Chains A and B, each alone.
Chain A
């Protein structure tokens, strides 16, 4: 089940609608990286609002998307992590994986974050 990836200017927006299998995650990673190259995107927003679970495989894949796209010149912002998911990740000790990944409450905030210049507002991990 493919994740729809929209292009908005120099941004790619991937909105995950439902729980993904391991295969789906792998597929998403491939699609995003391919498009970053094709459209020379500068930013990626991955929206996980619809997910009530982010397991260890999901977090690992997200991590490698962030790293790989950075190598190709694009910054990734994670948006829409729900309170329960945040709590679970903290309890499972998975938060370290996203220490330097910018996060935002939802898509709207994520776009603002991407477009805002360097060291202002929000929770851009590098400024903590």
Chain B
């Protein structure tokens, strides 16, 4: 295979200068970024440019005459890759490949190779032109990019997992809190039957729309269950009454009336009374008494109850 023909790159002859081939030769030889190499039809190197020397490490006199499979990694040579490429170039006149190539010092690099068949006018194969480009730098950048992307993706994944966990914790706490609130709401508006047909509804705490709705539902259902005709709704324990709350209370009163029950509202503080007047709530539809006791007495009167002292006070101190 290898014939050592020890030829330096030849200076152009007189005919060649005249033929104008000198220009291309100079160009090819001078290019350092691409390895431009001529192969004979069997694949042996017959010309070598500066780029080839730089890329693959061989000086011209070291490589000319040797087969181009020298540049391939051993396993690929054994698989017959170089011959296959040559065959394809022969058949289709062009072959392109990206793959590993081997330098003179044994180091490998990633290359882009184009092999072009050279023919004369009659179509006879004269040899091949092989242009090789070093892709190492590009490959390195691609690899660095890939690694950076993989790392940032991993970071995003970790962060997402953290956030998901935190979110789940928050959701769990919200759910627990909602449950607690519902429990408190249920407990905080008890409807108490105190006499036949008479209910007391003491309200304590802030009333928002949700609570007002729940309150009203509870009251209306109780009116039906206890067949109540009168309700004393005490708001002593309600700290704030604005127009929204006032409307809620009015709605409760109206709904109760539709079910045949009268509502007496008690426990309006002086401040709340002034607020209601200032807001302009329609108070003509509202029956009120100053406190629970007065409300109870009025309700009893409406229902036809009369409370009379029997004169016999039981011994309250000692259990009988």
Residues of chain A whose beta carbon lies under 8 Å from any beta carbon of chain B: 78-79, 81-83, 85-87, 89-91, 95, 98-99, 103-106, 109, 113, 120-123, 125, 128
- B260 engages A87 (CB within 8 Å): no
- B260 engages A86 (CB within 8 Å): no
Nearest 6 A-B pairs (CB), nearest first? Answer: A83-B220, A104-B260, A86-B255, A86-B258, A105-B260, A95-B254
Q: CB of B251 within 8 A of chain A?
A: yes
- B257 engages A123 (CB within 8 Å): yes
On chain A, the residues within 8 Å of B220 by CB distance are 83, 86-87
Pick the contact of B262 from A90, A109, A123 — CB < 8 Å? A123
- B259 engages A87 (CB within 8 Å): no
* CB-CB under 8 A for A128 and B259, given A83-B221, A83-B224: no
* CB-CB under 8 A for A105 and B251, given A83-B220, A83-B221, A86-B220: no
- B255 engages A89 (CB within 8 Å): yes
On chain A, the residues within 8 Å of B303 by CB distance are 121
A95 to B252, CA, bound (A): 11
CB nearest neighbor in A for B261: A123
Pick the contact of B261 from A105, A106, A113, A120 — CB < 8 Å? A105
CB nearest neighbor in A for B263: A123
Q: Which of B212-269 contact A (CB under 8 A)?
A: 213, 216-217, 220-221, 223-224, 227, 229, 251, 254-262
- B229 engages A121 (CB within 8 Å): yes
Q: Which of B223, B255, B261, B285 has the most CB of A within 10 A?
A: B255
- B227 engages A103 (CB within 8 Å): no
Q: Which of B265-301 contact A (CB under 8 A)?
A: 285, 287
On chain B, the residues within 8 Å of A78 by CB distance are 258
Taking the closest CB of chain B, its distance from the CB of A66, in whole angstroms, is: 14
Q: Which of B154-186 contact A (CB under 8 A)?
A: none
CB nearest neighbor in A for B247: A90
A110 to B308, CA, bound (A): 29
Q: CB of B304 within 8 A of chain A?
A: yes
Residues of chain B whose beta carbon lies under 8 Å from any beta carbon of chain A: 213, 216-217, 220-221, 223-224, 227, 229, 251, 254-262, 285, 287, 302-304
CB nearest neighbor in B for A77: B260
* CB-CB under 8 A for A105 and B223, given A86-B255, A90-B251, A90-B255: yes
- A91 engages B251 (CB within 8 Å): yes
* CB-CB under 8 A for A123 and B229, given A83-B259, A86-B220, A105-B261: yes
- B229 engages A81 (CB within 8 Å): no
12 further contact pairs, Cβ within 8 A, besides A81-B259, A86-B256:
A83-B223, A86-B255, A87-B220, A87-B255, A99-B285, A105-B229, A106-B227, A109-B229, A109-B260, A122-B229, A128-B262, A128-B285
Taking the closest CB of chain B, its distance from the CB of A29, in whole angstroms, is: 20
CB nearest neighbor in A for B248: A90
On chain A, the residues within 8 Å of B256 by CB distance are 86
Q: List 5 A-B contacts (CB under 8 A).
A: A95-B257, A95-B258, A105-B229, A106-B227, A121-B302
* CB-CB under 8 A for A121 and B304, given A83-B217, A86-B220, A87-B217: yes
A34 to B303, CA, bound (A): 35
- B285 engages A81 (CB within 8 Å): no
Q: Which of B216, B229, B256, B303 has the most CB of A within 10 A?
A: B229
* CB-CB under 8 A for A87 and B216, given A79-B260, A95-B254, A122-B229: yes
